[in-house]
Amino acid sequence: MAKQIMILFINWLTEDFIGKWAGEEEVFKPGQFKWMENWKAKHYAKHLVSQHFNKLDKKTDHFTRKELEEKCIDGKEETSKSNMKSELYNKNLEKPETTEKTTEKIEKSEVKFEDLKEKTDAK
């Protein structure tokens, strides 16, 4: 099975962001984050920043674009063996105090269903 690079996408806007990929929409509430494939997170970041600039009536090639796109991505990467692993990450994460702490929680090389159940039950 091919490995994928997963990164944390973050909606830093103060409004909902609707990400679109392959005809499907995904709504991100303000401050919401989600682990996803790096290519998809970068795609969403590009469109989130464009939405932001359009709202401010600025050109979408504004000099701050790169900085704002980077703000959408946690910066730490995780290698995943399947999409199922990212779904488990997202299902079992509570909103962290910081994304750095979230990344530290997930830096284990393998996640087992039993481990996730124990962590959830312990809360």
Structure token pair of residue 111: 């996640």
**CA distances, 79 to each of 64, 118, 121 (Å):** 29, 23, 26
**Taking the CB of residue 72, how many other CB atoms lie within 10 A of it?**
25
* CA quadruple 56, 31, 104, 81: dihedral sign: negative
Per-residue pLDDT of the chain (123 residues; tens, 9 = 90+): 567 788 999 999 999 999 999 999 999 999 999 999 999 999 999 999 999 999 999 999 999 999 999 999 987 666 654 444 555 555 555 444 444 444 444 343 334 444 444 444 454
Domain boundaries, given as residue ranges, for the chain: 4-122
Q: Is 92 helix (H, G, I), strand (E, B) or coil?
A: helix
